[in-house]
């Protein structure tokens, strides 16, 4: 009977664990194995173990492009997070101003980019907004008499284009999270702060931001991961099969994917994947305190 | 105090103007697609700027149903979504309940490990899964894709629901437990009704994930008969999108509508259903 009670929780979670084991854990281990082989298109089944050569190639040779991709990814994550939090904070503050009667309507309209399927949004932006011939941006430029710009053909404009799109897609979530958190801040703090003569800036620095920090930490960490992992935007905007736009922008994720499915360099791609995974583990250990579980 | 009141009025008006501009700018990409989807081809491909369609037509919408296998894609998407939802929710609700209510050795480490595994971007192990599935002859099969999708969403579902289950006071169950109710009965009669927001949000997140997934759908399904909406749409724009751009925008609008409806229906649950797990502690 005691043994049975002990086994019960395991039996309950068994189906889920089997599923996770097959789809998440095993592929990661298998990726680890591939990373020490020379598997590629020509060595599909007669590959052999070559040790850490792939890692060496990824991390030590600058022309492998991986180091550059790391730089791009870090910059991408930091810039996006700063802009996202700052912009969302002010919009959420605006939404919570007393007497703004239409705030519910605004909130709903602002949620649309989040509700849209991500790949649909990206493809709509690629053709509808950024396209050189019939994108909206260039139509506006032509109407104003300025010559057309090719937004996605070079790295810096492509990076900015991707970032604008990412902000468009990710801001609603942030706005909603901050808006929700703002409503949980005790109003009486502001009353007494006003009595003490604290202005808008002081109220924000001393009351709002400290109060929001613990509530928002999980959402911010989650978003940081999503931003870091962002693949669709860069891939769909600039490097779809058969319609490369000319920019060579790579994040580490697109770099790994391109090596696996375009240049068929499975060993190298797997080595890169494992390196990224190690990064993520280290990063998680740092942020773990934010998502501590109460037991 | 009259001056102060006027100042407030002006401030609010300005704020309203700012928000109207913001909402409009935010909606432009969607509005633009909507306008293009009801205008004829020339309008979209000319490089002159015209915001309103010169000629209103629903031709693009009918063309999607007639010229493209849209209905077939829709059917595939629905089957995959429902299959994934059943498999993912079926396994994770029970697991989440056991993680939330039972105390045993290794529980905390497993939860932490799951979180870590969830941080691993799935694209990175896509090739390993591809090879595995090829060996097992599971490529091109709906069951295979459902398993992949369910596995991908399982950890998120467990964590999300466990967080919410934790907020339900255990005393409610104790009472029924004394009456001799089994775990399964407790789960069905007590927890599920109380945790409705979390369960709805989680299930919808799974649905939306499947509905929007194009990369696995196009990599693992090798013929266009088995494409999902996302895969089909992706293909539609990949083949000569300049010709089919108004067609594509009509398809994009059609695909987005169900998601938009579902999204706004569950919006009120969104904050509580998504954050309960993380906010504590």
Of B97, B117, B103, the closest CA to residue B162 belongs to B97
A99 and A61 share one domain: no
Give B16's contacts in chain A (Cβ within 8 Å).
Answer: 100, 102
Residue of A nearest to B91 (CA): A16
A125 and A243 share one domain: yes
pLDDT category of residue B58 using cuts at 50, 70 and 90? confident
Task: Write down the ipTM of this complex.
Answer: 0.84
Residue of B nearest to A34 (CA): B128
Tokens, residue A93: 């503050």
User: Is residue A2 included in any domain, yes or no?
Assistant: no
- pLDDT over 80 at A134, yes or no: no
Is residue B51 within 8 Å of B33, Cβ to Cβ?
no
* Domain, as residue range, for A221: 70-249
A189 and A112 share one domain: yes
Q: What are the structural domains, with CATH classification, of chain B?
A: 2-60 (no CATH), 68-279 (1.10.3720.10)
A52 and A93 share one domain: no
Give B97's contacts in chain A (Cβ within 8 Å).
Answer: 12
Task: Supply the pLDDT for residue B243.
Answer: 61
- pLDDT over 90 at A16, yes or no: yes
User: Is residue A10 included in any domain, yes or no?
Assistant: no
Mean pLDDT: which of A127-136, B20-29, B118-127, B268-277 is highest? B20-29
Strands (E), chain A: 239-240, 243-244
User: Is residue A259 included in any domain, yes or no?
Assistant: no
Out of B22, B245, B267, closest to residue A111 by CB = B267
Is residue B74 within 8 Å of A164, Cβ to Cβ?
no
Give B233's contacts in chain A (Cβ within 8 Å).
Answer: 119-120, 123
Give B115's contacts in chain A (Cβ within 8 Å).
Answer: 284, 291
Percentage of chain A modeled with pLDDT above 70? 96
Window 61-90 of A: residues touching B by CB (8 A cutoff) are: none
d(CA A59, CA A57): 6
- pLDDT over 60 at A127, yes or no: yes
- pLDDT over 80 at B175, yes or no: no
Window 174-233 of A: residues touching B by CB (8 A cutoff) are: 176-177, 180, 215, 217-219, 222, 225, 229, 231-232
- pLDDT over 60 at B262, yes or no: yes
Q: Write the CATH number for A127.
A: 1.10.3720.10
The predicted model gives A123-146 an average pLDDT of 86
Task: Supply the pLDDT for residue A295.
Answer: 32
A61 and A76 share one domain: no
- DSSP, collapsed to helix, strand or coil, labels residue B241 as helix
d(CA A232, CA A117): 12
Note the pLDDT tens digit of each residue in B60-88: 898 888 888 889 999 999 999 999 999 99
Of A163, A165, A159, the closest CA to residue A248 belongs to A159
Note the pLDDT tens digit of each residue in A56-93: 988 888 777 899 999 999 999 999 999 999 999 999 99
Task: Supply the pLDDT for residue B278.
Answer: 43
- pLDDT over 90 at A121, yes or no: yes
The predicted model gives B127-153 an average pLDDT of 93
Residue of B nearest to A179 (CA): B271
A65 φ/ψ angles, rounded to the nearest 5 degrees: 90, -10
The predicted model gives A143-168 an average pLDDT of 90
d(CA A181, CA A85): 13
Note the pLDDT tens digit of each residue in B203-222: 988 998 998 898 899 889 88
A86 and A118 share one domain: yes
Give B33 to chain A, closest Cα distance, Å: 7
pLDDT category of residue B273 using cuts at 50, 70 and 90? low
- pLDDT over 60 at A292, yes or no: no
> How many domains are there within chain A?
2
Of B210, B263, B270, the closest CA to residue A113 belongs to B263
Give A158 to chain B, closest Cα distance, Å: 18
Look over chain A and give the mean of its residue pLDDT values, rounded to a whole number.
Answer: 87
- pLDDT over 60 at B126, yes or no: yes
The predicted model gives B37-42 an average pLDDT of 75
- Displacement of CA B196 from its chain's centroid (Å): 18
pLDDT category of residue B189 using cuts at 50, 70 and 90? confident
A109 and A244 share one domain: yes
Task: Supply the pLDDT for residue B41.
Answer: 64
User: Is residue A117 included in any domain, yes or no?
Assistant: yes
Task: Supply the pLDDT for residue B169.
Answer: 82
The predicted model gives A115-123 an average pLDDT of 90
- pLDDT over 80 at B51, yes or no: no
Helix axis angle, B59-67 to B70-101, nearest 10°: 80
A295–B contact, CB cutoff 8 A = yes
A262–B contact, CB cutoff 8 A = no
d(CA B251, CA B245): 10
Give B279's contacts in chain A (Cβ within 8 Å).
Answer: 215, 218
A61 and A80 share one domain: no
**Inter-chain CB proximity A266 and B95 less than 8 Å:** no
Task: Supply the pLDDT for residue A10.
Answer: 87
- pLDDT over 70 at B276, yes or no: no
- pLDDT over 80 at A108, yes or no: yes
**Inter-chain CB proximity B259 and A280 less than 8 Å:** no
Q: Which of A87, A88, A98, A120 to mutate to test the interface with B (most CBs of B within 10 A)?
A: A120
- pLDDT over 60 at B280, yes or no: no
A91 and A229 share one domain: yes
**Inter-chain CB proximity B125 and A8 less than 8 Å:** no
Is residue A54 within 8 Å of A33, Cβ to Cβ?
no
- pLDDT over 80 at B114, yes or no: yes
The pairing of beta strand A243-244 with beta strand A239-240: antiparallel
d(CA B230, CA A121): 12
A193 and A218 share one domain: yes
Write the DSSP string, A182-234: HHTS-HHHHHHHHHTT--HHHHIIIIIHHHHHHHHHHHHHHHHHHHHH--HHH
Mean pLDDT: which of A113-117, A139-143, A161-165, B198-202 is highest? A161-165
Residue of A nearest to B48 (CA): A139
A163 and A244 share one domain: yes
Task: Supply the pLDDT for residue A87.
Answer: 96
User: Is residue A74 included in any domain, yes or no?
Assistant: yes
**Inter-chain CB proximity B47 and A139 less than 8 Å:** yes
User: Is residue A38 included in any domain, yes or no?
Assistant: yes
d(CA B8, CA A209): 24
- pLDDT over 60 at A289, yes or no: no
Mean pLDDT: which of A18-22, A208-212, B185-189, B192-196 is highest? A18-22
| pTM score, whole prediction | 0.85
- DSSP, collapsed to helix, strand or coil, labels residue A43 as coil
**Inter-chain CB proximity B264 and A136 less than 8 Å:** no
pLDDT category of residue B43 using cuts at 50, 70 and 90? low
- pLDDT over 90 at A140, yes or no: no
Look over chain B and give the mean of its residue pLDDT values, rounded to a whole number.
Answer: 84
A89 and A219 share one domain: yes
Q: Which of B32, B99, B122, B127 to mutate to test the interface with A (most CBs of A within 10 A)?
A: B127
User: Is residue A81 included in any domain, yes or no?
Assistant: yes
User: Is residue A260 included in any domain, yes or no?
Assistant: no
Give B219's contacts in chain A (Cβ within 8 Å).
Answer: 261
């Amino acid at each position: 009977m005691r043994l049975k009670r002990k086994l019960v929780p395991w039996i309950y979670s068994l189906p889920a664990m089997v599923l996770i084991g097959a789809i998440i854990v095993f592929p990661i281990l298998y990726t680890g194995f591939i990373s020490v082989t020379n598997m590629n298109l020509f060595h599909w089944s007669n590959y052999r173990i070559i040790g850490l050569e792939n890692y060496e190639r990824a991390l030590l040779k600058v022309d492998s492009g991986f180091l550059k991709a790391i730089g791009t990814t870090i910059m991408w994550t930091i810039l996006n997070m700063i802009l996202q939090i700052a912009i969302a904070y002010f919009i959420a503050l605006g939404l919570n101003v007393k007497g703004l009667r239409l705030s519910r309507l605004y909130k709903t309209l602002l949620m649309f980019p989040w509700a849209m399927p991500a790949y649909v949004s990206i493809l709509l932006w690629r053709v509808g907004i950024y396209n050189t011939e019939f994108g909206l941006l260039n139509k506006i430029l032509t109407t104003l008499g300025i010559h057309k710009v090719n937004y996605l053909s070079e790295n810096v404009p492509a990076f900015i284009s991707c970032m604008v799109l990412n902000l468009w897609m990710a801001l609603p979530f942030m706005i909603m999270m901050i808006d929700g958190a703002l409503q949980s801040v005790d109003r009486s703090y502001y009353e007494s702060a006003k009595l003490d003569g604290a202005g808008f800036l002081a109220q924000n620095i001393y009351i709002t931001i400290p109060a929001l920090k613990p509530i928002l930490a999980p959402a911010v960490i989650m978003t940081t991961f999503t931003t870091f992992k962002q693949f669709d935007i860069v891939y769909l905007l600039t490097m779809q099969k058969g319609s490369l736009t000319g920019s060579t922008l790579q994040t580490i994720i697109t770099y790994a994917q391109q090596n696996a499915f375009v240049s068929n360099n499975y060993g190298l791609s797997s080595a890169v994947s494992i390196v990224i995974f190690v990064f993520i583990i280290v990063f998680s250990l740092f942020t773990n305190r934010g998502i501590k579980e109460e037991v | 105090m009259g001056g102060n009141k006027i100042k407030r009025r002006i401030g609010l008006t300005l704020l309203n103007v700012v928000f109207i501009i913001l909402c409009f700018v935010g909606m432009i990409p969607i509005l633009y697609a909507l306008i293009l989807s009801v205008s004829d081809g020339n309008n979209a491909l000319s490089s002159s700027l015209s915001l309103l369609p010169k000629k209103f037509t629903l031709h693009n919408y009918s063309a999607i149903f007639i010229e493209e296998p849209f209905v077939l894609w829709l059917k595939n998407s629905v089957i995959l979504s429902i299959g994934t939802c059943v498999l993912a929710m079926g396994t994770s609700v029970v697991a989440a309940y056991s993680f939330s209510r039972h105390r045993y050795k290794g529980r905390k480490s497993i939860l932490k490990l799951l979180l870590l595994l969830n941080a691993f971007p799935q694209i990175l192990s896509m090739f390993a899964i591809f090879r595995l599935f090829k060996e097992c002859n599971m490529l091109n099969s709906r069951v295979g894709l459902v398993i992949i999708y369910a596995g991908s969403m399982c950890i998120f579902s467990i964590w999300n629901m466990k967080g919410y289950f934790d907020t339900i006071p255990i005393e409610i169950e104790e009472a029924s437990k004394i009456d001799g109710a089994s775990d399964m009965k407790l789960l069905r009669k007590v927890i599920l009704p109380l945790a409705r927001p979390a369960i709805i949000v989680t299930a919808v997140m799974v649905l939306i994930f499947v509905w929007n997934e194009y990369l696995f759908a196009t990599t693992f399904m090798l013929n266009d008969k088995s494409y999902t909406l996302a895969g089909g749409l992706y293909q539609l724009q990949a083949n000569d999108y300049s010709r089919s751009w108004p067609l594509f925008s009509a398809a994009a609008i059609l695909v987005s509508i169900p998601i938009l409806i579902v999204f706004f229906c569950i919006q009120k649950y969104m904050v509580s259903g998504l954050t309960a797990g993380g906010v504590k502690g």
